[in-house]
A and B are shown apart, each in its own frame.
Chain A
Amino acid sequence: MPRPRFRVLLGMVGVGLVILALHDGWLNGPLGLARVGFAPVEWSITNVGETVGGVVWSFLRVGTLSRRVRTLEEELARLRAEQAREASLQQENAELRQALRLLPRTRFRHVAADVTGVSTDGASAVLRINRGANDRIPTDAAVIAADGVVVGHVSSVQTSTATVELLTGGKVRVAARALDTGAEGIVHGVRGLDVIFDGIPRTQTLRVGDRLVTTGLDGNFPPYLLLGTVVSVRALENAIFQEASVQLPLDLHRLKVVAVLLES
């Protein structure tokens, strides 16, 4: 065998060993250390990329932006009204729980984190955040955005950074309930192509437009976090369960700030 080819073969074998080592987690330690050094660079890159991308995107979509702004203004007004109603309900709820001597509904506190990186390979769906073991972030902690929208959970923690597995990727499964009809099932992603609400018995009613929230039964996410809205319902003939496609309220790949929920 000629020498150059032998070297290439050796290189390929080396790469194979690296893949095996990565797969079995043997390199987690060195990778964690490397990420500590890369974190500031990574953050700068993301910020620059985001700024440039934002300018280009705005320029390309300038025609549709004004229409979008009008729609969002209407949506904002509606949400403000809804928020005011909810605030009064929350106050009433707190008073009632105090009167009945019930424990507070949630026992979590938030730790805000900046998103410093986003996966680019098309197979994984992860974010990197600038909080880690130094901030007492545990693995499997729930991550939310916009004060109550499920983003995913922490899949690995390094010294000053952590990796968040997104709901869209397929590794995160959340016990969910439709607020309007009470149907219960599991919400999970399919390779970033769709988010599905499935495992719902056909005896339960499910409608397009239903809002889905967490139930808290999976033990990872506290109850009443928003997951999304049902956009289509499918039920095969003779199938025991039905499933629905879910539209998320936020584009999880474009988040800049998230919050990690820690038990207090």
Chain B
Amino acid sequence: MRKILLPLLLFFLLAGGETAVARWLPSPFVAPLLLPALLTLAFRLPATRLARLAFLGGLAGEAASGLPGGTILAALVALPLAVRALVRRPELPVLVRGLVGMIAALLFSILVQAAAPGPFAPPARLLAQFITAKLLFPSLFVGALVLFMGSLLDAREQRRFSSLGLLPAAAGGPYPSVK
């Protein structure tokens, strides 16, 4: 039970933070928080646990952000799983993990923007603002957070976080195999 409730609580806190960030950033800018959390974990967790966490995270984000369609929920599940399938090397330098996170966030932003109604690209006079505020800024933000959180987890050797049920019991030991 703790393995479900505590991560859910953590993700609710992140979702709340995301809502707060969304309210206080200048209007067209967005700064996702759930996504970097899930991507950071994607480098470490077995796929099944990651899928569960991604779903809980997506659900928390969906509930807290007021999104109607749940596109973000589906994308939040799909993206960490895809990253997990492609990159299963926790020994990668954190800078590389941050870069992968940034690329994944860019794909996420494009997916979410493509799911929005209307033409994908706005009028030419708004294109620069669109690319900056909707694609580049969130990607850089996520990349930086993945880097930061990855460093943090490395520095703590995963011990403190394992008590929250977010990391496998074998944390710090050999990388867990995908179940």
- Whether the Cβ atoms of B68 and A124 lie closer than 8 Å is yes
> Which of B61, B69, B74 has most A Cβ within 10 Å?
B69
* A53 in complex: contacting residue of B21, B65, B115, B138, CB < 8 Å: B21
Binds B, one of A16-24, A79-87, A89-97, A214-222: A16-24
Stretch at the interface among A31-39, A68-76, A101-109, A200-208: A31-39
C-alpha gap A247/B127 in the complex (Å):
19
Q: B145 on the interface (CB 8 Å rule)?
A: no
**Which of chain B's residues has its CB closest to A118's CB?**
B22
Among residues of B, the one whose C-beta sits closest to the C-beta of A155 is B68
Q: How far is the CA of A120 from the CA of B65 in the complex (A)?
A: 6
Q: Is the CB of B63 within 8 A of A35?
A: yes
The reply to whether the CB of A4 lies closer than 8 angstroms to some CB of chain B is yes
Contacts of A120 in B (CB 8 A): 18-19, 21-22, 30, 32, 61, 64-65, 67, 72
List residues of A (160-175) whose CB comes within 8 Å of B's CBs. Answer: 163, 165, 168, 170-171
**Majority DSSP secondary structure for residues of B touching A:** helix
Is A253 touching B84 in the complex (CB atoms < 8 A)? no
List, in ascending order, chain A residues with CB within 8 A of B59's CB.
Answer: 34
| Complex CA–CA separation, A15 to B21 (angstroms) | 27
Judge whether B129 is part of the interface by a CB distance below 8 angstroms.
yes
**How many Å from the CB of A12 to the closest CB on chain B?**
6
Q: List which B88-131 residues lie within 8 A (CB) of chain A.
A: 109, 112-113, 115-118, 122-123, 126, 129-130
* Residues of A contacting B10 in the complex (Cβ-Cβ under 8 angstroms): none
Q: Which residues of B have CB within 8 Å of A110?
A: none
Contact B63 A38 (CB under 8 A): yes
| Chain B residues with CB below 8 A from A119, complex form | 22, 65-67
Cβ contact within 8 Å between A156 and B12: no
Q: Which of A141-149, A177-185, A189-197, A223-231 contacts B (4 or more CB under 8 A)?
A: A189-197
A116 within 8 A of B: yes
Most A CB contacts (10 A, CB to CB) among B24, B85, B122, B130 go to B24
User: In this assembly, does B71 line the interface, its C-beta being within 8 Å of a C-beta of chain A?
Assistant: yes
A8→B81 contact, CB < 8 A: yes
Chain A 32-73 per-residue mask, 1 if CB under 8 angstroms from chain B, else 0: 001100100110011011101110110000000000000000
| B51 lies within 8 A of chain A by Cβ | yes
- Encode contact with A along B158-179: 1 for CB under 8 Å, 0 otherwise: 0000000000000000000111
Q: Which residues of A contact B20 (CB under 8 A)?
A: 48-50, 52-53
A31 CA / B71 CA spacing, docked (Å): 13
Task: Check A31 against B70 for contact (C-beta < 8 Å).
Answer: yes
Shortest C-beta distance, B53 to chain A (Å), equals 13
Task: Report 14 cross-chain contacts, Cβ distance below 8 Å, ordered by A residue.
Answer: A7-B178, A11-B51, A18-B73, A49-B17, A53-B23, A117-B65, A119-B22, A123-B113, A124-B69, A126-B66, A156-B68, A163-B66, A163-B68, A191-B118
A positions within 8 Å CB-CB of B: 4-5, 7-8, 11-12, 15, 18-19, 22-23, 27, 31, 34-35, 38, 41-42, 45-46, 48-50, 52-54, 56-57, 116-124, 126-128, 155-156, 163, 165, 168, 170-171, 190-194, 251, 253-254
Q: Ordered nearest first, which 9 A-B pairs have the shortest CB separation?
A: A49-B20, A128-B66, A117-B66, A122-B30, A45-B16, A53-B20, A4-B178, A38-B63, A123-B116
